[in-house]
Amino acid sequence: MFDKSEAEVEHTGSTPAANRSAAAADSGAPSETDLAYARAVAADALARGGKDNSVPWENPHTGAGGNITPLAASRRDGSFVCREFLASYVRGPSQAWLQGEACRIGQGRWEVKSLKPLRS
């Protein structure tokens, strides 16, 4: 009744943003949304000043999560106090390690300056 030849079928696709999110999930790479959750927890963990204590993080919307672990003592970078950290990333069967750096930007607030895949 509604049969169309292949030539008459119009193919549609999802939006580019959805394609990027799906590709990131398939490749095991963290999505920007997941990274935003990890950055927020990293900034909070560094503001508390704990040394080498892991703090869990989770994105309740995607089920991704992991731990943030501050590394080494803080150091000066110009007028800022900065500190490095490691973040684990787990989403379904995908697992990865990320390395990051955050700096105190004022009044005890920390801002994550970088968060990228850990290079071996």
Q: Report the C-alpha gap between 3 and 35 in whole angstroms.
A: 45
- Is residue 113 in some structural domain? yes
Per-residue pLDDT tens for 34-46? Answer: 999 999 999 988 8
Chain center to CA of 7: 43
Per-residue pLDDT tens for 68-107? Answer: 999 877 778 778 889 999 999 999 999 999 999 999 987 8
- Is residue 4 in some structural domain? no
What the block records as the tokens of 5 is 């030849």
Among residues 113, 91, 112, 86, the alpha carbon closest in space to that of 24 is found at 91
Q: Which residues are paired to 68 by β-bridges?
A: 55, 87
- Is residue 68 in some structural domain? yes
Domain containing 94 equals 16-117
Domains in the chain: how many in total? 1
Q: What is the average pLDDT score of the chain?
A: 79
- Is residue 36 in some structural domain? yes
- Is residue 63 in some structural domain? yes
